[in-house]
Amino acid sequence: MQEYDVIVIGAGPAGLTATSYASRSNLKVLVLDKGIYGGQMNDTAEIENYTGFNSVLGADLSEKMYQSSMQFGAEYLYGKVIEVINEGKYKIIKTDIGDFKALVVVIASGATHARLDVDGEEKYAGRGVSYCAVCDGSFFKDENIVVVGGGDSAIEEAVYLSNLVKKVTIIHRRDKLKATSLLQERAFSNPKIEFNWNKVVKKITGDSNKVTAVILEDTKKGTETEIKTKGTFIYVGIKANTQGLDKLKITNSEGFIKTNSNMETSIPGIFAVGDVRENSIRQIASAVGDGSIAGKLLFEYIQGIV
Ligand code: NAP
């Protein structure tokens, strides 16, 4: 079994920052990610609230963070974590590419977009149902599309999509948005964005191949309406990527990991950082902050046990 000082699970901004700090302290570090580095930044077109950049493309910031974090000799492997086992001083990380052993595990596995769990959502995923405007928006040039949700993600992505498509209808279950006021102002003043308030998606319908419409239910009156559309972008919150961690008993009832302000979980040697952490404000800046705290303190932890 290959042995490391530190294994970082997840290569988003939190995991990459922890990697940078740990490997710069001369520790032997492995980063494991089941996808491309950068995490959710890859799903974001433009980032305007990360200090140092007026505006930066999500994919570009991912690349910059990856390059800078790997410069001190950390290894990177594509692999899906199946289970993390606490054996005291050592932690065993079972993955689909083999088993690894480490003194410290940093869980930076992030979060993914929640599903609506309605009829047609799964069937038409990738065929009109999308969770990534940057990836799929250009398929809907000159179409009328819908965006579901009222948080920062929904509004930010609706504004992005409005540059590509004919019209965006935002479907929200209340009559007030949850998104920050700057994003709200941008959406309200955008002539290509309309709002359909107090509606939930009941069903996504289509032909054998693609989405053709969404069926909405009015949350006040209970009436049903249909909007013809080829594209449905869903942004209704996020859920923690904590699969395989159940036995550690470090998550709350919603699956997010509980930590103290040092990013330590209740298990010595296991840290959690970024969006996967309970009470994270889920910003790139806060993820980087979490990663730096864990990356620094894990060095002290290792010095204390070896
Ligand atoms: P969010 O803030 O949890 O918002 C989810 C939205 O979806 C809410 O408006 C919610 O309605 C609605 N919703 C939830 N379940 C629903 C359902 N079953 N049917 C219909 N609507 C449903 O999620 P998010 O927008 O993905 O943001 C996640 C986190 O990332 C937040 O902390 C956010 O600030 C952060 N973020 C930040 C930025 C940025 O700073 N630029 C960008 C994106 C995300 P209610 O309002 O009625 O609850």
Provide the 8-state DSSP code for 229: -
Per-residue 3-state assignment (H helix, E strand, C coil) for 147-161:
EECCCHHHHHHHHHH
Which pLDDT does position 43 carry in this prediction? 83
Compute the C-alpha angle 253/258/264, nearest 5°: 160
User: Is residue 155 within 8 Å of 182, Cβ to Cβ?
Assistant: no
Residue 149 alpha carbon, nearest atom of ligand 1: 7
Choice from 236, 241, 288 to test ligand 1 binding pocket (greatest atom count within 8 A of CB): 236
> Which residue's CA lies nearest to atom 16 of ligand 1?
236
Sign of the CA dihedral running 93, 42, 26, 292: negative
| The pLDDT of residue 223 | 98
Count the neighbouring beta carbons within 10 Å of the beta carbon of residue 305: 12
pLDDT at 44: 83
Residue closest by Cα to atom 36 of ligand 1 = 152
pLDDT at 208: 86
Q: Nearest Cα to 197, choosing from 175, 223, 221, 214?
A: 175
Residue of 48, 118, 152 to test ligand 1 pocket, by largest number of atoms within 8 Å of CB = 152
How many Cβ atoms are within 10 Å of 65's Cβ, its own excluded? 26
Q: Whose CA is closest to atom 2 on ligand 1? A: 151
Residue 210 Cα to ligand 1 midpoint, Å, equals 26
Residues 96, 82 contacting (CB under 8 angstroms): yes
Task: Tell me whether strands 90-95 and 98-107 are parallel, antiparallel or unpaired.
Answer: antiparallel
Mean pLDDT by 10 residues, the chain (306 residues): 97 98 98 95 88 95 98 98 97 98 98 95 95 91 97 96 97 98 98 98 95 98 98 96 95 96 98 97 95 98 95
- Cβ of 286: how many Cβ atoms within 10 Å? 17
The closest residue, in CA terms, to atom 46 on ligand 1 is 178
pLDDT score recorded for residue 111: 95
DSSP state of 189: T
Catalytic residue numbers, as ranges: 132, 135-136
Residue 233, pLDDT score: 98
d(CA 69, CA 65): 6
Lining residues, ligand 1, CB within 6 Å: 49, 116, 148-154, 156, 173-174, 178, 200, 235-238, 281-283
d(CA 45, CA 88): 42
CA of 272 to the centre of ligand 1 (A): 22
Considering only CA atoms, which residue is closest to atom 39 of ligand 1?
152
Adjacency order of strands within the sheet including 199-206: 199-206, 211-218, 224-228
Beta-bridged to residue 99, according to DSSP, are 94
Cα–Cα distance for residue pair 279/281, rounded to 1 Å: 6
Instruction: Determine the atom of ligand 1 nearest the C-alpha atom of 116.
Output: 18
Q: What is the pLDDT of residue 139?
A: 93
- Looking from the CA of residue 284, the nearest atom of ligand 1 is 40
Atom of ligand 1 nearest to the CA of 113: 26
